């Protein structure tokens, strides 16, 4: 059921991008590539997670860390530094890598291996601080703390609901900043963190969304229609907010489809047969990505979208070997009889 829903949602995203592109002579290649990356990453995560439920997330965490370290030196285009460190891709990759390491730790039975993977997650968090990515550090730390607390969560639906509400809160806050409806003091403080340039991009996106609420201005056309983007010294054609970009380029339906992708991931984590701490850890990392995407350009990078699909695949895979219920492993590494509820 969850897989069928995912296929339907991703297919709808691809089809709608083609429809809006045809209506306004847009360029849907970016959206199509993102859909393909998520689907490919999810399939790879499901396969590798079934075959190697511990090694695959660990390897994925190391790969993500390597890409994040290389990103500031290999990513073309301008590097908007506030509030996401080097850029949104770095913060997002680090958060996904920390989540993958924690998922691997929860899947591991030997205490030494579990400790090693948790230390890897801590090292990824420290790396974010060393790279100067303040938000990346905060996201990684949040994922690590949520993962450690997940063992005490008996019903995963409560945790996943909390993550959905957190994502909705960030989305609401970004919209409120763009609409300039917050109190003056709070608005000035947030704009100082986000930079005036980013807020002006958001307001251009809202203006375009109001002009074409149904179909939007067309995929890939924000850069040529936004006065702020065209006047920028180093324009990248992005409003640096995934929901606002969808609203501007693909209308309200595009925003609904973007939200549907996130809801599908949470639903798949609710239905996964994997232990609850793994589901909640992956949910926390993907929510961190969602938060970064709402105030940055994280989803504009194929490595990030593929990494998100990969982590979701790890957490929803059905291992070919029986797993001990997480939290029911004794100090000798042998499973106990008690099981956690979903």
Q: Is the pLDDT of residue 83 over 60?
A: no
> Which of 76-85, 117-126, 159-168, 174-183 shows the lowest mean pLDDT across its residues?
76-85
- pTM for the model: 0.90
Which DSSP symbol is given to 297?
A: -
Secondary structure tally for the chain: helices H, strands E: 14, 0
pLDDT for res 133: 84
Q: Per-residue pLDDT tens for 237-289?
A: 789 999 999 999 999 999 999 999 999 999 999 999 999 999 999 999 999 99
pLDDT for res 196: 86
What's phi and psi for 212, nearest 5 deg? -130, 70
Q: How confident is the model at residue 326 (pLDDT cuts 50, 70, 90)?
A: low
d(CA 32, CA 322): 37
| Token output for 30 | 């970016």
d(CA 8, CA 154): 31
| Token output for 17 | 């991008």
Burial environment of residue 99 by CB neighbours within 10 A (0 to 12, 13 to 18, 19 or more): buried
Q: Is the pLDDT of residue 71 over 70?
A: no
Of 291 and 180, more confident: 291
- The vertex-95 CA angle with 94 and 96, nearest 5°, equals 90
Of 211 and 333, more confident: 211
Q: Is the pLDDT of residue 84 over 70?
A: no
Q: How confident is the model at residue 79 (pLDDT cuts 50, 70, 90)?
A: very low
pLDDT for res 78: 46
Q: How confident is the model at residue 29 (pLDDT cuts 50, 70, 90)?
A: very high
d(CA 30, CA 78): 18
Of 327 and 40, more confident: 40
* End-to-end Cα spacing for the chain: 17
Q: How confident is the model at residue 188 (pLDDT cuts 50, 70, 90)?
A: confident
d(CA 266, CA 161): 9
d(CA 13, CA 162): 26
Domain boundaries, the chain: 2-74+82-316
Q: Which long-range contacts (CB under 8 A, 24 or more apart) does 174-178 make?
A: 174/202, 174/241, 174/243, 174/244, 174/294, 174/295, 175/243, 175/244, 177/202, 178/202, 178/203, 178/205, 178/206, 178/241, 178/244
Q: Is the pLDDT of residue 330 over 70?
A: no
Q: What is the DSSP string of 107-159?
A: H--SHHHHHHHHHHHHHHHHHHHHTT-HHHHHHHHHHHHHHHHGGG-S-HHHH
Q: How confident is the model at residue 328 (pLDDT cuts 50, 70, 90)?
A: very low
> Which of 122-126, 299-303, 309-313 shows the lowest mean pLDDT across its residues?
299-303
Q: How confident is the model at residue 73 (pLDDT cuts 50, 70, 90)?
A: very low
d(CA 168, CA 263): 11
pLDDT for res 56: 96
Q: Is the pLDDT of residue 333 over 90?
A: no
pLDDT for res 2: 87
d(CA 217, CA 239): 13
Compute the mean pLDDT over every residue in the chain, rounded to the nearest whole number: 87
CA–chain centroid gap for 236, Å, is 21
């Amino acid at each position: 059921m969850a897989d069928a829903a995912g296929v339907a949602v991703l297919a709808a995203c691809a089809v709608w991008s083609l429809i809006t592109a045809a209506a306004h002579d847009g360029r849907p290649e970016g959206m199509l590539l993102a859909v393909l990356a998520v689907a490919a990453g999810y399939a790879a995560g499901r396969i590798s997670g079934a075959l190697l439920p511990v090694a695959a997330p660990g390897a994925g965490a190391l790969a993500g860390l390597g890409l994040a370290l290389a990103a500031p030196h290999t990513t073309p285009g301008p590097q908007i530094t506030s509030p996401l460190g080097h850029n949104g891709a770095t913060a997002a990759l680090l958060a996904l890598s920390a989540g993958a390491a924690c998922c691997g730790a929860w899947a591991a039975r030997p205490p030494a291996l579990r400790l090693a993977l948790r230390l890897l997650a801590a090292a990824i968090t420290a790396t974010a601080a060393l790279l100067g990515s303040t938000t990346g550090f905060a996201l990684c730390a949040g994922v690590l703390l949520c993962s450690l607390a997940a063992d005490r969560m008996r019903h995963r639906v409560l945790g996943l609901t909390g993550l959905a509400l957190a994502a909705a809160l960030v989305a609401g806050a970004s919209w409120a900043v763009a609409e300039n409806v917050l109190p003056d003091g709070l608005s000035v403080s947030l704009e100082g963190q986000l930079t005036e340039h980013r807020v002006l991009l958001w307001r251009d996106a809202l203006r375009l969304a109001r002009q074409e609420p149904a179909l939007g201005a067309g995929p890939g056309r924000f850069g040529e229609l936004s006065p702020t983007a065209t006047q920028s010294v180093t324009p990248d054609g992005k409003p640096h907010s995934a929901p606002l970009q969808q609203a501007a380029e693909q209308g309200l339906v595009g925003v609904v489809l973007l939200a549907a992708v996130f809801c599908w991931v949470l639903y798949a984590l609710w239905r996964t047969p994997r232990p609850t701490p793994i589901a909640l850890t992956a949910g926390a990392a993907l929510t961190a990505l969602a938060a970064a995407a709402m105030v940055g350009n994280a989803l504009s990078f194929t490595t990030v979208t593929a990494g998100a699909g990969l982590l979701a695949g790890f957490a929803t895979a059905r291992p070919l070997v029986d797993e001990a219920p997480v939290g029911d492993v004794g100090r000798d590494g042998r499973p106990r009889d008690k099981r956690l509820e979903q």
